[in-house]
Structures are given as structure tokens and as C-alpha cells.
């Protein structure tokens, strides 16, 4: 009897355990089997009853059931703000940030390098030649070759070339100035499309080491001639430029001042020895070409010989400034006080052209 009671008690305990277990596994709300999504819903509904609520105020918004069945949204790729700001170091930014003076220096250095390159080409031609280089081979600046197309092939120019060659090769002649590679230095240093002003001279200096193919100019280290001394005096009075210790006017040429003699060669110690041999016709062609194909160029004509060239210039398109020659004999008769340097810059600026920096 005692065993029977114990057995009954055990069976009742198991029944209670099974009942509790069944209620835990099968909650009161029942769902008939259906689709996979509905079975997942029942599973989520049951387990969510036992999740601890998130009491954090900064929690993300709760998702609805259907959010789990939506395809994930595409994440938009944003560009950092720093990448949207133009880089000041790029090519355009760098150019735009340069001051006027910096741009002028960049432009000057660029054209100085071109002038030096032209000079080296001529020097190499002379050095590598077995004989005398023809004149037409010593003009190497492309813009002038185009502007003066065919000029050096004309009969007068071919005759001139033979004359200069014979002078250089003549053993009875001590020397011809300037050196061959500098004969066209004025044109090779100042491209046709950059000519802003023209200063006309006569024939080259005939002393040793003086002539360098630019009117009135002498190389550094050579005593400054009296005409150039007077030019520097006028510059000081006109623009306040300090008097340089040298007479090299290359800086003017590179900026666009064509320093052109009307005769481009001369015998040593014999002034005007190459006059009326064809050079005048060639340099007249240079002046006429500038007059016809350019506008707004300032021509500085000093002395009677230079003034005669005014007939070649169209005064309706260009500016002509005339004065006495700056030599010691005539500077006091109209060169001093002419203020041609400041007037040149005023005329250029009126046309929106950068002025010349006359300071050496």
C-alpha cells in the first residue's frame, strides 16, 4: 500500500512537470503551420517576450517585422569636403596666385632662355662650319624668318652675303665686327611678335670687343661708350633709373625693344666701311615689315640718319619719337630732356601693353 502511494505521488509529480514543460514549449496562443515567413514570425514573437528591454535613450529606432524582409538599402558614397575645394597648388591655381612682378619675371626668364638658345644655335653653326657661314643661316628666330620670308634670298641680299663673306675671309682685313654669330643678334634676341619699341642706331661699334649686334650696347666688362653714357643720364633724369656699371642692353632686347642698327657689320677701326653694300635695304625691309604687320610700336629715332627712316613707318598705326643723337656732339641739342623712355611706357600702357623696365 505504501509503495502504491509513493508510485501515485511520483506519477503526479511527472504530470505536473510535463504540464509545465508543455506550457513553456507551447504557449497558449497557437498558430497553425503555414508559410516559412509565418513560422519565423511566431519564433520572433515568442523569444521577444523574454528579451530585456533596452533602457538606453540613445538607442537606434526599433525595426518593424517587415524591415527584415526588405533588401538592404544602397549606401551613398560621399566625397570628403576637402576634396571638393580646388587645390591651390595645381597649375591654374599657381598661375593665378602669382603677382604681376612674378609673372613679369617668369615671362622675362622664358624669353631670355629663348634668346640664349638662338645664340647657341648661331655659335654652333659658326664653330662647326668648314668655311664662312652664309648670312641666311645666321638668322634663326622663327618669327622673323616667317615675317621676312624670302628677303635673304633676293639678289641684293645674296650679293651682300658674298661681300660679307669675302670681308671675313680677307687676310688683309684685321677683323669684321660683330663676330659672325652676333650679326643678327637684334632679330634673334627680340622676336617679331614681341617688338614693343625700336631704337635705331647706325653701324656697329668698330673697336675690339665692343660690337654685340645690338644698337648702342656693349658687353659687360667693356668701357661704356659716350653715347650710351648720355642715354643713361637721360634715363636717370626721366625715370630716376640708377646708372649701371655696364653697357649691356640685352635686358631691353628680351623685353621687346628691338635694338637695330641700319648697317649690321663693319671693319675694325673703319666706321661706315660696310655702308651702301646692301644692309640698308635689308634693315629698311625690317622696319617696313614691322610697320605693315604690327600696330602700336614705338619708334625712337635719334639723329638725322634715324629720322630719315620715318618715311618707312605708318604714323597712323605707330608712334614716332624723334630727338637729336645721344653722342657727345649733339646730346645737348635735343636729346637731353626728350623723355623718350617715360613717353614710350605711357604709349604702351595706353594700349594695354606692359611697359619696359628700363633699369639695368
Q: How far is CA 193 from the centre of its chain?
A: 16
Helix segments in 240-350, DSSP class H: 250-255, 279-293, 304-307, 340-350
Helix, strand, or coil (residue 144): helix
Distance, in Å, from the CA atom of 353 to the CA atom of 135, rounded to the nearest integer, reads 33
Q: Find cell 634715363 and name the residue.
A: 235
Q: Is 264 exposed, middle or buried (0-12, 13-18, 19+ CB in 10 A)?
A: buried
Distance, in Å, from the CA atom of 334 to the CA atom of 240, rounded to the nearest integer, reads 19
Distance, in Å, from the CA atom of 106 to the CA atom of 145, rounded to the nearest integer, reads 26
Give me the DSSP letters along 198-220.
EEEE-S---STTT--SSTT---T
Helix, strand, or coil (residue 322): strand
Retrieve residue 189's grid coordinates. Answer: 634676341
What b/e sequence results for 6-19 when a residue is b if at least 16 CB atoms lie within 10 Å of its CB, and e otherwise?
eeeeeeeeeeeeee
The active-site residue out of 142, 193, 203, 354 is: 203
If one counts every other C-beta atom within 10 angstroms of the C-beta of residue 239, the result is: 15
203: annotated active-site residue: yes
Distance, in Å, from the CA atom of 7 to the CA atom of 170, rounded to the nearest integer, reads 149
Active site residues: 203
Amino acid at each position: 500500500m505504501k509503495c502504491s502511494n509513493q508510485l501515485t505521488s511520483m506519477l503526479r509529480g511527472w504530470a505536473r512537470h510535463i504540464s509545465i514543460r508543455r506550457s513553456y514549449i507551447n504557449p497558449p496562443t497557437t498558430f497553425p503551420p503555414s508559410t516559412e515567413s509565418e513560422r519565423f514570425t511566431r519564433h520572433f514573437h515568442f523569444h521577444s517576450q523574454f528579451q530585456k528591454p533596452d533602457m538606453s535613450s540613445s538607442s537606434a529606432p526599433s525595426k518593424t517585422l517587415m524591415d527584415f524582409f526588405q533588401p538592404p538599402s544602397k549606401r551613398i558614397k560621399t566625397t570628403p569636403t576637402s576634396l571638393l575645394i580646388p587645390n591651390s597648388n595645381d597649375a591654374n591655381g599657381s598661375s593665378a596666385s602669382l603677382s604681376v612682378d612674378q609673372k613679369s619675371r617668369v615671362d622675362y626668364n622664358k624669353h631670355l632662355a629663348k634668346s640664349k638658345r638662338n645664340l647657341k644655335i648661331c655659335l654652333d653653326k659658326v664653330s662647326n662650319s668648314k668655311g664662312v657661314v652664309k648670312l641666311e643661316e645666321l638668322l634663326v628666330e622663327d618669327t622673323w624668318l616667317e615675317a621676312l620670308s624670302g628677303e635673304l634670298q633676293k639678289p641684293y641680299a645674296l650679293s651682300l652675303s658674298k661681300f660679307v663673306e669675302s670681308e671675313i675671309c680677307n687676310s688683309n682685313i684685321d677683323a669684321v665686327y660683330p663676330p659672325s654669330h652676333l650679326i643678327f643678334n637684334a632679330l634673334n634676341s627680340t622676336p617679331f611678335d614681341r617688338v614693343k619699341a625700336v631704337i635705331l642706331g647706325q653701324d656697329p661699334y668698330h673697336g675690339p670687343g665692343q660690337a654685340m649686334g645690338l644698337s648702342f650696347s656693349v658687353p659687360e666688362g667693356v668701357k661704356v661708350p659716350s653715347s650710351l653714357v648720355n642715354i643713361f643720364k637721360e634715363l636717370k633724369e626721366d625715370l630716376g633709373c640708377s646708372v649701371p656699371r655696364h653697357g649691356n642692353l640685352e635686358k631691353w632686347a628680351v623685353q621687346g625693344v628691338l635694338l637695330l642698327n641700319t648697317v649690321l657689320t663693319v671693319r675694325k677701326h673703319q666706321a661706315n666701311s660696310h655702308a651702301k653694300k646692301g644692309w640698308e635695304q635689308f634693315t629698311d625691309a625690317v622696319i617696313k615689315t614691322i610697320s605693315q604687320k604690327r600696330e602700336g610700336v614705338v619708334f625712337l629715332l635719334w639723329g638725322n640718319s634715324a629720322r630719315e627712316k620715318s618715311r618707312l613707318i605708318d604714323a597712323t598705326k605707330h608712334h614716332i619719337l624723334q630727338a637729336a643723337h645721344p653722342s657727345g656732339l649733339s646730346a645737348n641739342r635735343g636729346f637731353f630732356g626728350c623723355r623718350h623712355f617715360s613717353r614710350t611706357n605711357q604709349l604702351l600702357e595706353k594700349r594695354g601693353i606692359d611697359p619696359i623696365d628700363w633699369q639695368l
